[in-house]
Amino acid sequence: MPTIFTRIISGEIPCHRIHADEHVFAFLDIAPLSRGHALVVPREEWAMLHELSDESAAALGRALPRVARAVMAATGATSYNILQNNGALAHQAVPHVHFHIIPRFPDGSGLGIRWDARALDASEGAALAARISAEMARG
């Protein structure tokens, strides 16, 4: 089953397109949190960021700042959030990797953030960092 974003990329479902290249497609979110809220999507159809090929990930990394610059210039926004949800627990509704570019305006429109920060325990932090860096070394 193609995702709704694959169907948008193929032209089967209409969108307000703002960018397309070999690996990446971008369009306006249909239910924006603020004016200019855009989605940047790899053509490659994977649900989560860590599943992407290096080629697709690199193309996204190249396109994101360019689309962000264009959104800022077109809307006059001077602040914005990049949001990228992975998994239902993380608020992902569409199982096709996508980055939200969400301009933030003085009227308060944009991404609302709840940031329940806790203190990092020093010994747990050391153990976790060691485990994660070992995983990194495995590739």
Catalytic residues: 98
Q: For residue 6, give every residue at least 6 positions away whose Cβ sits within 8 Å of its Cβ, in sequence order, or none.
A: 45, 96
Question: Among residues 1, 88, 89, 93, which is the contact residue for ligand AMP, using CB under 6 A?
Answer: 93
Q: For residue 52, give every residue at least 6 positions away whose Cβ sits within 8 Å of its Cβ, in sequence order, or none.
A: 42, 44, 46, 60, 97
Residue 92 binds ligand AMP, judged by CB under 6 A? yes
Question: Among residues 3, 75, 85, 109, which is the contact residue for ligand AMP, using CB under 6 A?
Answer: 85
Unique residue bearing structure tokens 């979110």:
29
Nearest distance in Å: CB 72, ligand AMP:
19
Residue 50 binds ligand AMP, judged by CB under 6 A? no
Which of the residues 95 through 124 are near ligand AMP (CB under 6 A)? none
